[in-house]
Amino acid sequence: MQKLAVKGKKKLSGVIKISGSKNATLPILAASILNKSKIEISRVPVVKDVITMVELLKHMGSNIKFDLKKNKILIHNQNRKLKTIAPYKLLKTMRAGIIVLGPLLSKFKKAKVSLPGGCAIGSRPVDIHLFVLKKLGAKIKIKNGYIIAETKKGLIGKKIRLPSISVGATENALIAASYAQGITYLSNCACEPEIKDLTNFLKKMGVKIKWIGNRKIKISGNQNLRPTSHKVMFDRIEAGTFIIAGALTGQRLRISGIETKILKKEISTLKKMGVKLKLGKNDIIVFNSKNIKPTNINTQPYPGFPTDLQAQIMVLMTKANGISRIKENIFEKRFMHVPELNRMGAKIKILGGSSFIYGPQKLNGAEVMATDLRASVSLVLAGLSAEDKTIINRVYHLDRGYEKIEETLGKCGPVIKREKN
């Protein structure tokens, strides 16, 4: 098991080019199951979750090759019949593994998929995934930790309203409907940029998809899919993470390879807190920001403030002149980083579904433990702004979503070393 040693009070300056989005790559890889033609996917992040998904597709029989140096994936499944089982050993660490359920069921009319693992940040039930697939004509049961689904006549398009907004269920429904017979109308969908990226990929393969309202999608199924190439969108959570890092300890940090218009809520929140930003179309420059102001945040589905940046902005709030509040509306257990930040000198109290952050507080290096992906990176940010050295244990969480973060930040000044326990 590995840990990170972060030396505090090192200024960030230079340029960070943002990687492709993990959360966009995973459903795109799942959607490749539908297509027997050649597929080329570029700007693929080399992170543990993506590697696990590639291993899963290989296990199922996919002819898939991941060029780690070029961040490119090639897939060609002509004359291949994939296995329809996604085993526990591969899905136990990755929540997004359930996204293969829809395409397997739609194309092969059956699937056996392990109930997923991933970060322990609260209940993320699969009920909505199963609800949608049942509406499309699947018969589903759960037995011995597996979802077992079949449809003798294939999935058939229908009008479906999701019971509540769910990113994963929207993706599963979207992919399944793309190969189903007839037309599917989905409403109350998630509209995250990563879902728009997935729809762009599916459209390139020949699926007719149209957004007919803010949260409504019309999908015309197509079983004659064509070869395609696709460049994955930028990782907006990585971008937000490094913008906050620049606000905490930066001198002049440029974040490049992004689409600024996608980050409207994050940018407006940071500006409200007094963070100095210079905005370009495809980059943001973050300047040393003093006199941080307290603010209140409610995490919401896109276009609201993302839950995946909640832990990171909490670190910035420890520097604010007053009391800030974060209300977590997506995952009920997503404050597990709070005790670790308090160990470093923060003053944060949890009341119900909200955290109250009392600032400004001076952070000091300590030995801490990562509990999930985004919590782990918040401890890196805290370590950068703290006095002395911080040791972060269980960094395998970090590797699920950030590509060699010690090298990315190390090029801009901080001293971060990966060590063995």
224-265, pLDDT tens digit by residue?
999 999 999 999 999 999 999 999 998 899 999 999 999 999
Neighbours of 125 (CB within 10 A): 9
What is the pLDDT averaged over residues 79-87? 93
Give the CATH number, domain containing residue 313: 3.65.10.10
pLDDT at 123: 45
Candidates 119, 189, 191, 412; catalytic one: 119
Task: Looking at the structure, tell me whether residues 6 and 42 fall in a common domain.
Answer: no
Task: Looking at the structure, tell me whether residues 6 and 26 fall in a common domain.
Answer: no
Q: How many domains does the chain have?
A: 2
Domain that holds residue 69: 22-231
Q: pLDDT tens across 3-60, in order?
A: 999 999 889 999 999 999 999 999 999 999 999 999 999 999 999 999 999 999 999 9
| Nearest alpha-carbon partner for 123 in 91, 148, 95 | 95
Mention every residue, 6+ apart, whose C-beta is less than 8 A from residue 84: 60, 104, 108, 110, 111, 112
Q: pLDDT tens across 100-148, in order?
A: 999 999 999 999 999 876 444 344 568 899 999 999 999 999 999 899 9
This prediction has a pTM of 0.95
Task: Looking at the structure, tell me whether residues 309 and 345 fall in a common domain.
Answer: yes
Q: Hunting for tokens 């398009």 — which residue is that?
A: 157
Residue 144 in domain? yes
Task: Looking at the structure, tell me whether residues 68 and 212 fall in a common domain.
Answer: yes
Question: Hey, which residues does 14 pair with through a beta bridge?
Answer: 253
Q: How far apart are the C-alpha atoms of 132 and 414, rounded to whole Å? A: 47
pLDDT at 94: 82
Residue 151 in domain? yes
Determine whether 412 is an active site residue: no
Is it the case that residue 332 has pLDDT exceeding 90? no
Q: How far apart are the C-alpha atoms of 297 and 257, rounded to whole Å? A: 27
Residue 226 in domain? yes
Neighbours of 40 (CB within 10 A): 14
Task: Looking at the structure, tell me whether residues 6 and 29 fall in a common domain.
Answer: no
3 state SS of 408? helix
Distances (CA, A) of 402 to 20, 42, 184, 221: 10, 17, 35, 35
Of the chain, the end-to-end C-alpha distance in Å amounts to 6
Task: Looking at the structure, tell me whether residues 179 and 147 fall in a common domain.
Answer: yes
pLDDT at 121: 37
Query: In whole angstroms, what separates CA 351 from the centre of its chain?
Result: 27
